[in-house]
Structures are given as C-alpha cells and as structure tokens.
Structure 1
Amino acid sequence: MEWTRLKAELLTAGGVRVEGEPIDRFTSSSAAGPGAGGSGSVFFSDGTHRVRLGLNQKSTITLIHQGNGEARLHRGDEIITGRIEEIGLHCPRQAYITVTGSCSFQCRYCPVPSLKGRRKTAGEVVAMIEVVADRIDAISITSGVLSTCEEEEDYICTAILPQLQRFNLPIGVSIYPTERTPGRLHALGIAEVKFNIETATDELFSENCPGLERSAIKKALTDSVPLFGRGHVFSNLIVGLGESDEEIYTCIDELTRAGVVPCLRPLNPVAGLTEEGRPSPERLLRLANYHTLALEREHLDPDQALTMCTACTGCDLAPRRDL
C-alpha cells in the first residue's frame, strides 16, 4: 500500500497497540490541543515520511518495537518496516513547548481546560530546551490562556521569548492573537507564527469556540504575512466538525490566497466531542489533494517551514511530503 493511503488510514484509526521492547524514550505527550492529556504517542517513519501514532492498547494496528528504534508496523496482513523516531520535546527535531497548560476558554474539541495545568517559568522552559539542544533544529512555543489573551501574550513576549534567543535557532509561536501580536512577535525576531482559525466557517467557530473571535484570528493571519513572509504563517483547520468539503475548499482558498499555509487537522474526538467520529481516509485524501493544488496555485511551499506542525508533518497528510 502506498504511503499516502496508509497514513490516511492511520490518522483515521487514531492509534496503535505497541508491543516488543520498551518505548519510554521515544514516547511523546501533549499538553496543548486536542491530544492533551492522552496516553501519549510515538512518531513512526519509513525513512522518508512520518506519522504520529497515539498509544491505544485496544487498537487493531500493532507497532512492534524491536529495539533501538527499529520497528515493524502491522496492519492486517501488511507489514511496514521503519523506525520509531527519537523526539526532542513533543516531536522529532524540535523543542515544542506549551507554556501555560490551562485555558480560560472552553473550545468543544479541546481537553486543556479540564486539565488545569500550570504555567512554566522562563527558567523551566530554558532548562527543558537545554536538555534536548543537541537533537533539535527549532523551538516552537504554544500556550493556553491563563486569564486573558492579552495577559498571555504579554507573558510570552516579555518573560519567555527573550530568553530563547541564546539558542540561535528559528522560533515559531502559536498563541491566541490580539491586534498587537504579529508586530510584537516580529520585533522579537520570531521566524514563523501559527494562529488557528480552527473551523471552516464562522458559524462552526461560534458553536465550538465560545468567547473567541474568528475575525480577529483572520486579521492576525493577514497582518502577519507581510512581516514573516508568504509560507511562514500557518493556521490549523480542523476536519470533521460538521463542515462540507466545499466549505473546507473555500477556507483553504481564502487562506492560501492570503499567503497562509493551512494545516488540515483531522478531528480527534475528545472533550465535548467524544461521540463524534474521525474523518474517513477517503475524505482526508480528497481534501489533501485539493490542499496540495491550492498551495501550488499560490506558489506556497510547505517544505520551507522551519518550525511547528508544518515542519513536523506527523499529525496531518502533508502536501508535497506525503502526496
């Protein structure tokens, strides 16, 4: 089976059962987004491509660790040989850190508010990066919202980001933006930004993200492109919240025309959406093909990404890399 179809099916399955040698040093856990608070995940690579696999001992797909990262992925009668990749922090080759592990908002697809995680100090963030500095190429910072978007931005921009310049690595930042966010992050020398539009329509955003404004996120994205450059501004777009394919296409077109690279993120049915299903492999493939064509039409190359999800490619069908 070709990789593209296999990855689509793995993303729909949502997890694998792991057997064989211990995998502790390869295991990643999330403190932000829909994967937060889960049982962890591993990154499997066939040498060219990468997929993030949640750990689920009830899965019908098995990953057998033979030791030292060597692994076999068993799906029915099919066996794919590859490696479990060593992570930096959260994903391979990056220190991807959640600064505030709680959130004052209640987005329906996100478990972070219920986890009530704590806020890291600058010293803690620096210490975490120092541990993995010899195996990373980038630093990525994300965060919940402890009280307000404005207060969170101030904390990230004044307490955290100035302390990270010492590592001389590209830095990507993904936070809830205010009107000031693009300019402040650019002035601090940040390489890339990701402000998540999340849903294909305004109506779905209002339903799933009460208290937040989709129009403000869209403005932050368009304001960021002249500062950071076309192809270095990103936005998650969740697939599976009740939108049609045509609504996804329209949103992709709007983002790419503005110079923004969308990240099509398959729904992880957690938090308030546990009864929902994941999007089918057929739908993920259909949308990924349109996504690829839209990027090509606007001369946007996701392979140029330096940080965050677009550089990792583990959680989505990545245009160019997977197709």
Structure 2
Amino acid sequence: MDWIRLKARLLEVGSVRLSGEPAEPYISHSTAGPSAGSPGSLFFSDGGGRRVRLGINEASSIEIVHRGRGEADLFIDGSALRGVLEPAAHHCPRQAYITVSGTCIFHCRYCPVPDLPGRRKEVAEIVRMVEDVADRIDAIAITSGVASSIEEEEAYVLEVVAALRHFDLPIGVSIYPGPETPVRLHALGVAEVKFNIEAATEGIFREMCPGLSWDGIWEALASSVVLFGKDRVHSNIIVGLGETDDDLERVMEDLAAIGVIPVLRPLTPAAALADRPRPSAERLLRLHRVHERVLREAGLDPRRTLTMCAACTGCDLAPGRDA
C-alpha cells in the first residue's frame, strides 16, 4: 500500500491501539479543537518525513507496537509497516503549537472545548513553554479559543506574540479574526495566519458555528493575502459536516482564487457530532486529487508553508508533502 492510500485509511479510522514499550514521551494531549480532552495522540512517521497523527484508543482496529526509543511497527489490515514515533515539541513535531485560551464562549457543534474546564495560559508561561523546546523546533504556532470576547482575545494574543518575537522563529497564528486582526498580526512580524471557515458552505457554517461570521472570516482571509503574501494564508475546511464533494471543490476553488491555501480536515467526531462517522478513505483520496489540482492551477504550494497545520501535515492529506 503506498503512503497516500495508507494515510487515507489511517485517517478514516483515526486511532490506534498502542502496545509495547512505554511511549509517554511520544504522546501529545490537545487543549483545543475536537481532540481536546481525549486520551492523547501520537505521530507515526515512515521515517522519510511523512507523518500521520492518530488518537489513542484501545478499541481501535489498528495497532502500533512501540519497540523502544521511538522505533515502532504499524499493523493495519493484515499488513505491517516499520516506522518511528515522533516526539511532539508542543502538540506536534518541530513546532511549539500552543493554545492560549483553552476555553471558548462560542459553541461550534463539533468542538468540545466549551464544555471542558480549560484555562488561559499566562504570557510568561507561554514563553517558558517555548524556551523548554527551543532547541528542537523550527516554528511557533499560536491558536486560541475565545475566553470572553473576540476583541479581548485578539488583544491578549497580540501580547503573547510580542513576547515571543525574540526567539527569531517564524510565528503562525490561528484565531477567530476581527476586522483589524490581519493588520495587527502583520505589524508584529507574524509570518503566516490561518483563519478557518470550517464548513464548505455558508448554510452549514451557520448551523455548525452559531454566532460567528462567515463573511467576516472571508474578509479577513482576503485582506491577509495582500499583507502576508503567497502561500502564507490558510483556512481549514472540515470534511464530514454534511457537505457534498462538489461543495468542497467549489469552496477550495474560491479560497485558492483569492490566494488562500485550503486545508481539508477530516471530521473528528466529538461534542454534538460525536455520533457522526469519519470520512471514508475513498472520499479522502478523491478529494485529495481535486485538492492537488486546485492548488496547482492557482499556483499555490503548501511545501513553502512554515508553520501550523500545513507544515505539520499530521491530521490531513497534504498535497505536495504527502506523496
């Protein structure tokens, strides 16, 4: 099985049983997004730079056996693959990907964060977190819930970014944007931004993310491309919210047309969508081919990405990086 097909199958299942030698140094815990509050996840790599992030679940049909020192064997559908477990610096390999506020006043239907006892990290705490892993990261990535208001959250994240500039590493930021968010982040030297439209259509967005503005996110994305430049602006689209493949093709084309790299994120069933299925491997492969075409025709290249999801690639099929 080639890597693309293997990864699509792994993303379809989304989890593994972990056995063998103790592997705690390789287990990551999320405080944001649909995986928040889960038992943890790990990154399995083929050893050649291609990786996939998988949740840990003792009931999974796929098994990873840790042989020690990060060496591991993956057993799937009667086949075995030798690889390695990659340690996450913070949240993912080679990045300090840090959630500022692990709580949120909004209630997106796919996200468990509002129902978890999250907290906001102090600026000094975040600086220490980066210091602790500075010798094994290539980038810093900042994301956040909305603790009290969009405006207050932005102001606090700007404080965090200002305090991290002295590390002289590319910084990516993914928060819910206000009208001036792109300008303010750019003025602080942020390298890349990711403002997530989340859903393939406005109707699904309004159903899934009550209280948030579809038009506002699109406006922030368009203005960001002017500021940050080609291959530096991204937007997640969740696959599995009830959209069609045609819906996804259209929204990818619309994003690429304004210079935004779309990131297709398979649904992690959680919160109000806990009973939804994950997208099938066949669908992910089909969409991957469309995704490749859309990016190629728009002249966009995720391989130039420095931070956040498109640089990590663990949770998605990533055109240009997964081959």
Using structure 1 for the length normalisation, give the TM-score: 0.99
Looking at structure 2, the residues matched to 69 and 75 of structure 1 have their Cα atoms a distance apart, in angstroms, of 19
Per the alignment, residue 57 of structure 1 pairs with: 58
Per the alignment, residue 292 of structure 2 pairs with: 292
Looking at structure 1, the residues matched to 89 and 109 of structure 2 have their Cα atoms a distance apart, in angstroms, of 29
Per the alignment, residue 193 of structure 1 pairs with: 193
Tell me the CA shift for residue 134 of structure 1. 0.5
2:134 aligned partner, one-letter code: A
**1:96 is the counterpart of 2:78:** no
Per the alignment, residue 142 of structure 1 pairs with: 143
Query: Aligned-pair RMSD on alpha carbons?
Result: 0.6
Looking at structure 2, the residues matched to 307 and 285 of structure 1 have their Cα atoms a distance apart, in angstroms, of 24
- Aligned pairs for 1:119-158 (under 5 A) are 119-157=120-158
Looking at structure 2, the residues matched to 305 and 207 of structure 1 have their Cα atoms a distance apart, in angstroms, of 31
- Aligned pairs for 1:40-55 (under 5 A) are 40-48=40-48, 49-55=50-56
Tell me the CA shift for residue 127 of structure 1. 0.6
Aligned residues: 322
Tell me the CA shift for residue 76 of structure 1. 2.8
Looking at structure 1, the residues matched to 88 and 135 of structure 2 have their Cα atoms a distance apart, in angstroms, of 11
Per the alignment, residue 69 of structure 2 pairs with: 68
**1:164 is the counterpart of 2:158:** no
- Aligned pairs for 1:188-267 (under 5 A) are 188-267=188-267
**1:80 is the counterpart of 2:78:** no
Tell me the CA shift for residue 139 of structure 1. 0.2
Are the equivalent residues in 2 in contact too, given 1:103–1:116 (CA < 8 A)? no
Tell me the CA shift for residue 86 of structure 1. 1.4
Looking at structure 1, the residues matched to 87 and 14 of structure 2 have their Cα atoms a distance apart, in angstroms, of 20
Looking at structure 1, the residues matched to 300 and 30 of structure 2 have their Cα atoms a distance apart, in angstroms, of 29
Per the alignment, residue 24 of structure 1 pairs with: 24
Looking at structure 2, the residues matched to 55 and 262 of structure 1 have their Cα atoms a distance apart, in angstroms, of 27
2:112 aligned partner, one-letter code: P
**1:184 is the counterpart of 2:187:** no
Looking at structure 2, the residues matched to 82 and 76 of structure 1 have their Cα atoms a distance apart, in angstroms, of 16
Give unmatched runs, 5+ long, in structure 2: none
SS in 2 for 1:33: coil
Tell me the CA shift for residue 230 of structure 1. 1.5
Looking at structure 1, the residues matched to 285 and 16 of structure 2 have their Cα atoms a distance apart, in angstroms, of 21
Structure 1 stretches of 4+ with a deviation exceeding 6 A read none
Looking at structure 2, the residues matched to 292 and 39 of structure 1 have their Cα atoms a distance apart, in angstroms, of 33
Looking at structure 1, the residues matched to 90 and 257 of structure 2 have their Cα atoms a distance apart, in angstroms, of 33
Which whole-Å deviations, capped at 9, do the CAs of 1:261-307 have from their partners, x for residues lacking one?
A: 01100001100001110111000000111001100001111000000
1:60 aligned partner, one-letter code: S
Looking at structure 1, the residues matched to 35 and 214 of structure 2 have their Cα atoms a distance apart, in angstroms, of 22
SS in 2 for 1:60: coil
Using structure 2 for the length normalisation, give the TM-score: 0.99
Per the alignment, residue 5 of structure 2 pairs with: 5
Tell me the CA shift for residue 166 of structure 1. 1.2
1:106 aligned partner, one-letter code: H
Looking at structure 1, the residues matched to 4 and 130 of structure 2 have their Cα atoms a distance apart, in angstroms, of 33
Tell me the CA shift for residue 116 of structure 1. 2.9
Give unmatched runs, 5+ long, in structure 1: none
Which whole-Å deviations, capped at 9, do the CAs of 1:178-214 have from their partners, x for residues lacking one?
A: 0000000000000000000000000000100000011
Looking at structure 2, the residues matched to 23 and 84 of structure 1 have their Cα atoms a distance apart, in angstroms, of 9
1:85 aligned partner, one-letter code: E
